[in-house]
């Protein structure tokens, strides 16, 4: 929601915020469709929330309400609604090992959980970094603002890949077939989003973040190793991968689910 308020397309579909043109332009440097992605992803998240609460209510269970936890101050930059937040996007420490983990042809985290995959951007994994302009002062230096947008560009897929693993983990613990199906369906919504991988690729083509001095590991690996930008993460995994593929909205389960298996032979 915070990303949508500052860097997406303000309209009636997703309420809150009025946009920050400077930040939106910095995100567009990563991909011209970024504002549309942020808008649609936010809209999708609200449909997920509404669908899951409606499902709980249909079973006679209490619905989830996180409003009591909305206590964190957010950005005061132009475009922000100024409401209190559930999460803090202004002090992020990002684990970027997902980039190397999903592109390794020799190690699989499921089969070798003790292997430590290197950080794609080591400095993002240390310290705290803002992914949105905290105040209008953050938008005055174009280089610093671009560094903020670039941090967001890596935060987006960090969220997506985390959700991609979370829902299948929850599904394994479900005792209800219906709940298990819903969990896998939500995972498919994450899995189907390939956009963010292209965004992260931008940094490897350029080799660095401006101002913040965040540099991808070993420049010589960028085009010929595990951080090669045009590799599809799913097809680099040395194991059979299965996923329920569906659209990221609350739809009738029986008609929208498809089961697709991708095969990748061992190297």
Higher pLDDT, 179 or 159: 179
Q: How confident is the model at residue 20 (pLDDT cuts 50, 70, 90)?
A: very high
pLDDT higher than 50, residue 67 = yes
pLDDT higher than 60, residue 263 = no
Question: Encoding tokens for residue 58?
Answer: 């249909």
Higher pLDDT, 71 or 99: 71
**Mean pLDDT across the stretch 217-242?**
39
pLDDT higher than 70, residue 248 = no
From 244, 243, 247, select the one nearest 235 (Cα to Cα): 243
From CA 142, how far away is CA 41, in angstroms rounded? 26
Give the per-residue pLDDT at 223.
37
Supply the DSSP symbol for 227: T
CB count within 10 Å of CB 125 equals: 16
Percent of the chain with pLDDT over 70: 70
Give the per-residue pLDDT at 258.
34
pLDDT per position as a tens digit, 85-105: 999 999 999 998 988 887 888
pLDDT higher than 80, residue 78 = yes
- At residue 108, the 3 state secondary structure works out as coil
Give the per-residue pLDDT at 13.
84
Question: Encoding tokens for residue 241?
Answer: 């991968």
**Mean pLDDT across the stretch 4-23?**
91
pLDDT per position as a tens digit, 194-220: 445 555 555 555 555 555 555 554 433
Q: How confident is the model at residue 40 (pLDDT cuts 50, 70, 90)?
A: confident
Give the per-residue pLDDT at 164.
72
pLDDT higher than 80, residue 190 = no
pLDDT higher than 90, residue 162 = no
Give the per-residue pLDDT at 15.
82
* C-beta of residue 201 within 8 angstroms of C-beta of residue 228: no
The single residue listed with the structure tokens 């659209």 is 247
pLDDT per position as a tens digit, 125-158: 999 999 999 999 999 999 999 999 999 998 988 8
Dihedral (Cα; 88, 90, 91, 97), 10-degree rounding: 90
Dihedral (Cα; 217, 222, 224, 230), 10-degree rounding: 130
Higher pLDDT, 244 or 206: 206
Give the per-residue pLDDT at 191.
58
**Mean pLDDT across the stretch 159-171?**
79
Question: Encoding tokens for residue 126?
Answer: 């240390």
From CA 149, how far away is CA 85, in angstroms rounded? 20
Across 13-127, where does the E strand assignment appear? none
Q: How confident is the model at residue 170 (pLDDT cuts 50, 70, 90)?
A: confident
pLDDT higher than 80, residue 265 = no
* C-beta of residue 17 within 8 angstroms of C-beta of residue 6: yes
Q: Which of 159-168, 169-178, 220-229 has the lowest mean pLDDT?
A: 220-229
């Amino acid at each position: 929601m915070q990303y949508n308020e500052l860097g997406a397309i303000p309209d009636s579909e997703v309420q809150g915020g009025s946009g920050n043109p400077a930040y939106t332009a910095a995100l567009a440097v990563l991909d011209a469709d970024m504002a549309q992605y942020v808008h649609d992803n936010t809209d999708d998240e609200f449909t997920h929330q509404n669908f899951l609460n409606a499902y709980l209510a249909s079973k006679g269970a209490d619905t989830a309400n996180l409003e009591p936890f909305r206590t964190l101050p957010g950005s005061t930059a132009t475009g922000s609604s100024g409401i209190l937040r559930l999460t803090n996007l202004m002090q992020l420490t990002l684990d970027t090992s997902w980039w190397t983990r999903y592109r390794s042809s020799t190690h699989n985290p499921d089969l070798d959980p003790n292997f430590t995959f290197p950080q794609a951007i080591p400095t993002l994994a240390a310290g705290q970094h803002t992914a949105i302009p905290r105040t209008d002062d953050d938008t005055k230096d174009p280089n610093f603002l671009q560094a903020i947008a670039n941090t967001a560009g890596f935060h987006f897929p960090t969220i997506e890949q985390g959700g991609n693993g979370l829902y299948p983990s929850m599904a394994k613990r479900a005792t209800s077939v219906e709940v298990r199906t819903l969990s896998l369906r939500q995972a498919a919504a994450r899995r189907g989003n390939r956009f963010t991988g292209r965004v992260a690729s931008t940094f490897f083509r350029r080799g660095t973040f401006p101002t913040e001095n965040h540099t991808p590991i070993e420049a010589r690996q960028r085009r010929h190793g595990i951080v090669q930008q045009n590799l599809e993460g799913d097809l680099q995994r040395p194991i059979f991968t299965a996923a329920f593929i569906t659209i990221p909205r609350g739809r009738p389960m029986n008609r929208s689910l498809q089961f697709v298996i991708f095969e990748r032979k061992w190297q």
